[in-house]
Amino acid sequence: MYQTISPRHLQRQTTTAHLAQTMRLLFKPVEDLQKEIDEMVSSNPAIELMDKRTCPTCHRVLGDQGACPMCSRPKGDAQDEPVVYVSPREDFYGHGERSGEEMPDEPLASMTEELPEFVLRQISPELKPEDRRIAAYLLSNLDEDGLLEIDLYEVVRYFRVPLSRVKEVQHIIQRAEPVGVGSCSPQEALLAQLEVLREFGKVPELAEKIIRTGWELATHRQYRELAHLLGVPMKIIQQTMHFISENLVPFPARAHYGDTRDPSKKVGEVYHRPDIIISYLNDNPEKALVVEIVMPISGTLRINPMFREAIHEAGTEEQKESWKAYLERAELFIKCLQQRNHTMERLMRRLVNLQHDFILKGEKYLVPVTRFQISTELEVHESTISRAVAGKAVQLPNRRIIPLSSFFDRSLPARMVLKELIDDEPYPLSDAELMGMLAERGFPVARRTVAKYRALEGILPAQMRKPILREI
């Protein structure tokens, strides 16, 4: 006897499959999503990728550059309402200085890609063919911090080329992500980052002078001596040092390639390429924020119309059923991919609105929020938010790349206040004293938590910190 399957049961099966596939795609960062799409297109004849540059959301045919004029419109009337849209792959590769250049044929960088390979992939379009060997040689001699282990004159002797040519290649490397990589010293890395930052906003005038002439004093927190050396008030020194500590990294590889305190430590999450890019509308800091959710394809996935027609002409019933199965899998994949993008758009719109000050001003301004709170607001299950956040990275307007999970890190504001307390301490404060002061600031934490936060920020215990002599 044959079992009868009701339409309701079939619908339930389809819904379950849809949900499971959507959750699986939602969990994947852009690199893994690229592999998933490639595998689907190559293995399923019912699906095809159109070459036309189209909007991943509404499928309107777009121009050579820029976002969809319809989908990128702000949803609200407020001037500061973020512009959120799914960005085709070409926009991602062309973001910033390389806009308009031909996109490399290689897929997006792997999450396990080594630093030299990752940097070389970025700069290859900018290099002259004869300079690629020089770049590869320099990158093969990076230490774990992303700094050069060899002298530039060694490279000059090896390739028998002028020093100016080697420095030109090095400069191209330094402007790749992570910015400052390939520098000869921490100071040089900081100066390279400062150069890039100037292109995006105002930087303190004194920052470069401190790095060039007073870095030894700055690293030992000898601010009074530094103020005397440079002939400026102590307050200016402290303000500039705060800017340097918040925006610059002396060891570039630690910024994007692992644990910020122990670069040799193997970690589970390493962020090479962002899944989301946050910038200013028309590159104007006075305008609204633009949020690009990166899609690894530039065209549009669709059902192959010729394949759909061919089903009716299938020779046998078995062949027809096989082709129908291909068609169903293709339709499901496209729907699930669209649902993934829609969920990411809703999530990022809410997070950018909520964490606007954090995005622009830093960790101190992070609003404490949980995944459960966001899931309740968006009326989705908490696991959906967890999958959407997991393993993804965000590029902020200052070009810093951070995990998306940082938007939910409730420890960041406390750690920033802790840094301020230690920067302004009249004498080296103990963890117990810091615990009391944090509680007064609205951060009631245990003493062991203070020690943990201090270690995360690379701050020594009280007995090992040198007191800062201040002007009276």
- Residue 174 CA, distance from chain mean position: 18
Whether 148 contacts 184, CB under 8 Å: yes
* Domain end call among 371, 394, 409: 409
* Average pLDDT estimate for 177-182: 87
The reply to whether 287 and 401 lie within a common domain is yes
Q: For 115-141, what is each residue's pLDDT tens digit? A: 788 788 888 888 888 888 999 999 988
187 CB-side CA count, 13 A: 13
DSSP letter string over 130-161?
A: GGHHHHHHHHTTB-TTSBBSS-HHHHHHHHT-
Residue 457, in any domain of the structure: yes
Q: For 325-365, what is each residue's pLDDT tens digit? A: 888 888 888 888 888 989 999 999 999 999 998 898 887 78
The reply to whether 293 and 376 lie within a common domain is yes
Q: For 374-430, what is each residue's pLDDT tens digit? A: 999 999 888 889 889 888 888 888 777 888 888 988 787 788 888 888 888 888 888
The reply to whether 166 and 212 lie within a common domain is yes
The reply to whether 355 and 421 lie within a common domain is no
Q: For 35-78, what is each residue's pLDDT tens digit? A: 888 888 888 888 888 776 666 566 666 665 555 655 655 555 44
Nearest Cα to Cα of residue 368 among 379, 358, 378:
358
Residue 358, in any domain of the structure: yes
Number of Cβ atoms within 10 Å of the Cβ of 328: 13
Residue 349, in any domain of the structure: yes
Residue entry with tokens 């080296």: 428
| Predicted local distance difference test score (pLDDT) of residue 1 | 41
| Band of pLDDT at residue 79, cut at 50, 70 and 90 | low
The reply to whether 140 and 158 lie within a common domain is yes
The mean pLDDT value of the chain amounts to 78
The reply to whether 44 and 127 lie within a common domain is no
Whether 87 contacts 277, CB under 8 Å: yes
> Would you call 461 helix, strand, or coil by DSSP?
coil
Q: Looking at residue 419, which CATH number applies to its domain? A: 1.10.10
Whether 404 contacts 392, CB under 8 Å: yes
Residue 29, in any domain of the structure: yes
The reply to whether 45 and 120 lie within a common domain is no
The reply to whether 237 and 134 lie within a common domain is yes
The reply to whether 329 and 401 lie within a common domain is yes
Residue 423, in any domain of the structure: yes
pTM tops 0.85, yes or no: no
Q: Which domain holds residue 191?
A: 115-256
| Band of pLDDT at residue 431, cut at 50, 70 and 90 | confident
Alpha helices for 28-160 (secondary structure H): 30-43, 89-93, 115-123, 132-139, 152-159
Residue 470, in any domain of the structure: no
Q: For 367-379, what is each residue's pLDDT tens digit? A: 888 888 899 999 9
Fill in the amino acid letter for 156. Answer: V
| Band of pLDDT at residue 18, cut at 50, 70 and 90 | low
Q: What are the C-alpha distances in Å from 1 to residues 4, 8, 306, 340?
A: 9, 21, 38, 41
The reply to whether 133 and 217 lie within a common domain is yes
Q: Find residue 293's DSSP bridge partners.
A: 86, 276
| Predicted local distance difference test score (pLDDT) of residue 170 | 92
| Band of pLDDT at residue 110, cut at 50, 70 and 90 | very low
Residue 107, in any domain of the structure: no
Burial (CB < 10 A; 0-12, 13-18, 19+), residue 157, is: exposed
DSSP letter string over 349-370?
A: HHHHHHTHHHHHH-GGGPPP--
The reply to whether 382 and 333 lie within a common domain is yes
Residue 4, in any domain of the structure: no
Count each helix (H run) and each strand (E run) in the chain, helices first. Answer: 21, 7
379 CB-side CA count, 13 A: 0
Whether 392 contacts 403, CB under 8 Å: yes
| Predicted local distance difference test score (pLDDT) of residue 75 | 55
* Average pLDDT estimate for 97-121: 52
Structure tokens that stand for 270 in this block: 């390493």
Return phi, psi of residue 459, to 5°. Answer: -100, 130
What residues contact 267, with CB distance under 8 A and at least 6 apart?
258, 259
* Domain end call among 203, 222, 256: 256
Q: What are the C-alpha distances in Å from 47 to residues 38, 302, 308, 323, 438?
A: 11, 6, 10, 12, 57
Whether 274 contacts 281, CB under 8 Å: no
User: How many domains, in total, are found in the chain?
Assistant: 3
Q: For 192-239, what is each residue's pLDDT tens digit? A: 988 888 876 678 889 999 999 988 888 877 888 889 999 999 889 888
The reply to whether 155 and 215 lie within a common domain is yes
